């Protein structure tokens, strides 16, 4: 595929790819797994991710996918797409669309995704821009919950067990799932657009502040014992906020989250598209049709509480294999090959 992006577009895509879908729910999983110190674990994980991005920036040239690694990534992203759609549909069923047949909403979501996937790359690149204003609106309305927040909920610290630290760190890292997108997209950044350490720092600070804010609001709002019962704590908070102009703030933001999630899905599809079409292919649209049909039927097949709970219980394990180990292996292998060739 032939296209170029600016570094700002890269970071905007990465932001929405990372935060989309999970941002209404990840804090509950993280806080339950990490115990009292979970919020500290999140910020340590954010610092780790920053270092990881710096390493990515140094080594992205060596991130060349081979036949096997390409299909490993495509396979993992397809699984992620299916599970994400299952989660989105399940959440919609619970909150607003209890009677609407699943295939209708899934079809509509995938139709948008398909349209983006067969359009020019610039469509996928620029779609996240539509959501930017909503980020501020979302944060603004969450601030209405401030009178109910209790700083004392953050303390005491140092009470989490070793196991809680391991799980908390895994969930903390999983809040940044999709970071491998940086490696996939980095080589398309305009060469004259120099990437500096400061740019990565600003990006990581913004995403940490946003995700950290959501997590801290949940932590300070809910009693620790009540949190395991709540699946989407951020929506629950919005549901409890009283404003004069709209009866249910949560419904408004649920649709905003839906838009955000569809864009996140289309960015995963975009990653698949880039990786798949790295090799010259005869057909351009048929693979996308097949991909969307596969996602559609698989989502229908797996749409049940077991899949959703499986996803909630295991999504923290995605990060290390696909964002740390596999990229490290690919980079190490290509770097070694280059050194050997140079000799």
Residues lying near other proteins in the complex (CB under 8 A) are found at 94-101, 104-105, 108, 111, 147-148, 150, 152-156, 159, 221-226, 229, 236-237, 239-242, 247-248
CB 138 within 8 A of CB 253: yes
In the complex, what is the shortest distance from the CB of residue 250 to other proteins, in angstroms, rounded to a whole number?
8
Nearer to other proteins, 98 or 339 (CB): 98
Q: Determine the Cα–Cα distance for residues 175 and 46; give it in Å rounded to an integer.
A: 9
In the complex, what is the shortest distance from the CB of residue 115 to other proteins, in angstroms, rounded to a whole number?
9
Nearest CA among 215, 70, 221, 259 for reference residue 267: 259
Taking CA atoms, 129 is separated from 58, 67, 115, 126, 280, in Å, by: 27, 33, 17, 6, 30
CB 275 within 8 A of CB 184: yes
In the complex, what is the shortest distance from the CB of residue 228 to other proteins, in angstroms, rounded to a whole number?
9
Taking CA atoms, 206 is separated from 50, 135, 230, 282, in Å, by: 11, 12, 27, 41
Tokens 């919609």 correspond to 92
Tokens of 132: 């930017």
3-state secondary structure of 171: helix
In the complex, what is the shortest distance from the CB of residue 146 to other proteins, in angstroms, rounded to a whole number?
13
Q: Which burial class, exposed, middle or buried, applies to 256 when counting CB atoms under 10 A from its CB (0-12, 13-18, 19+)?
A: middle
In the complex, what is the shortest distance from the CB of residue 212 to other proteins, in angstroms, rounded to a whole number?
19
In the complex, what is the shortest distance from the CB of residue 111 to other proteins, in angstroms, rounded to a whole number?
6
CB 296 within 8 A of CB 147: no
Nearer to other proteins, 50 or 95 (CB): 95
Nearer to other proteins, 242 or 280 (CB): 242
In the complex, what is the shortest distance from the CB of residue 241 to other proteins, in angstroms, rounded to a whole number?
8
Q: Determine the Cα–Cα distance for residues 225 and 174; give it in Å rounded to an integer.
A: 23
Nearer to other proteins, 72 or 97 (CB): 97
Q: Determine the Cα–Cα distance for residues 96 and 146; give it in Å rounded to an integer.
A: 26
Tokens of 13: 């895509």
- In this structure, the number of other CB atoms found within 10 A of the CB of residue 276 comes to 18
In the complex, what is the shortest distance from the CB of residue 337 to other proteins, in angstroms, rounded to a whole number?
47
């Amino acid at each position: 595929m032939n296209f170029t992006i600016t570094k700002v577009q890269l970071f905007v895509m990465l932001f929405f790819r990372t935060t989309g879908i999970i941002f209404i729910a990840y804090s509950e999983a993280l806080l339950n797994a990490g115990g009292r110190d979970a919020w500290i674990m999140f910020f340590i994980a954010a610092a780790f991710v920053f270092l990881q991005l710096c390493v990515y920036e140094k080594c992205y040239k060596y991130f060349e996918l081979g036949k096997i690694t390409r299909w490993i990534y495509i396979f993992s992203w397809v699984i992620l797409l299916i599970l994400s759609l299952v989660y989105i549909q399940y959440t919609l069923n619970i909150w607003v669309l209890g009677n609407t047949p699943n295939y209708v909403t899934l079809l509509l979501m995938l139709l948008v995704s398909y349209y983006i996937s067969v359009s020019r790359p610039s469509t996928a690149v620029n779609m996240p821009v539509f959501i930017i204003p909503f980020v501020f609106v979302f944060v603004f309305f969450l601030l209405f919950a401030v009178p109910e927040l209790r700083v004392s909920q953050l303390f005491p610290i140092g009470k989490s067990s070793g196991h809680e630290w391991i799980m908390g760190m895994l969930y903390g890292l999983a809040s940044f799932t999709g970071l491998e997108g940086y490696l996939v997209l980095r080589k398309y950044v305009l060469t004259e657009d120099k990437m500096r350490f400061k740019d990565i720092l600003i990006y990581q600070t913004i995403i940490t502040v946003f995700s950290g804010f959501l997590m801290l609001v949940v932590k300070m709002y809910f009693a620790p014992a009540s949190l395991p019962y709540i699946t989407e704590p951020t929506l629950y908070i919005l549901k409890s906020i009283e404003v004069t102009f709209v009866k249910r703030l949560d419904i408004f933001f649920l649709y905003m989250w839906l838009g955000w999630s569809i864009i996140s899905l289309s960015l995963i599809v975009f990653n698949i598209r880039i990786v798949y079409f790295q090799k010259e292919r005869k057909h351009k649209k048929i693979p996308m049709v097949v991909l969307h049909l596969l996602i559609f039927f698989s989502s229908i097949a797996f749409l049940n509480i077991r899949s959703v709970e499986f996803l909630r219980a295991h999504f923290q394990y995605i990060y290390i294999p696909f964002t740390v180990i596999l990229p490290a292996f690919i980079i190490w292998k290509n770097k070694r090959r280059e050194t050997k060739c140079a000799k």
